[in-house]
Amino acid sequence: MTESNATQIFTDEAWAVWEPLIEAVRPRGKTPPKDLRRTISAVFWRHQNGAKWRSIPAELGPWWLTAQLFIRWAKRGVWVRLFTLVQERGQALGMVFLDDTNIRAHHKAAGAQKKRRQPTTRPS
């Protein structure tokens, strides 16, 4: 890849391992995805950094294209099949596999007990 180190997700050696796995599980459509390596790199970049879709660096392609591919593949179970395939082959690919869910809670939903107000006494 010719991108900077900050956005280089897949070296040629890493992509040589990942590409056959992804090709084995990706859905087949009328037209194959363009720049699949760049788009998958954007998915991994986003999940490694915990960033929003719109924060994906421009050199990794349009953010909406990456989000669209990720969501479509999540609905079709592609990420689960990829994870299963990696497990079956016993390959350690050097990273924690990403999950297709993201749940955010308000900081007040952390389970802390609520403060109770002391009743005020009024002078009569």
CA end-to-end span of the chain: 80
Helix (H, G, I), strand (E, B) or coil at 89: helix
Calpha distance 54→50 (Å, rounded): 12
Tell me the pLDDT tens digit for each residue of 88-99.
Answer: 887 665 555 555
Answer yes or no: is 76 within a domain: yes
Answer yes or no: is 105 within a domain: no
Answer yes or no: is 88 within a domain: yes
Answer yes or no: is 64 within a domain: yes
Answer yes or no: is 56 within a domain: yes
Question: What range defines the domain where residue 89 resides?
Answer: 34-99
The domain tally of the chain equals 1
pLDDT at site 72: 92
The average confidence (pLDDT) of the chain is: 79
Answer yes or no: is 62 within a domain: yes
> Which two tokens mark 76?
């079709």
Tell how far CA 56 is from the center of its chain: 11
Stronger pLDDT, 71 or 90, i.e. the higher one: 71
Query: At 4, which helix (H) or strand (E)?
Result: none
Calpha distance 6→51 (Å, rounded): 14
| Mean pLDDT computed over 67-85 | 91
pTM strictly above 0.85: no
pLDDT at site 49: 86
Answer yes or no: is 71 within a domain: yes
pLDDT at site 1: 41
| H helices, E strands: number in the chain | 4, 0
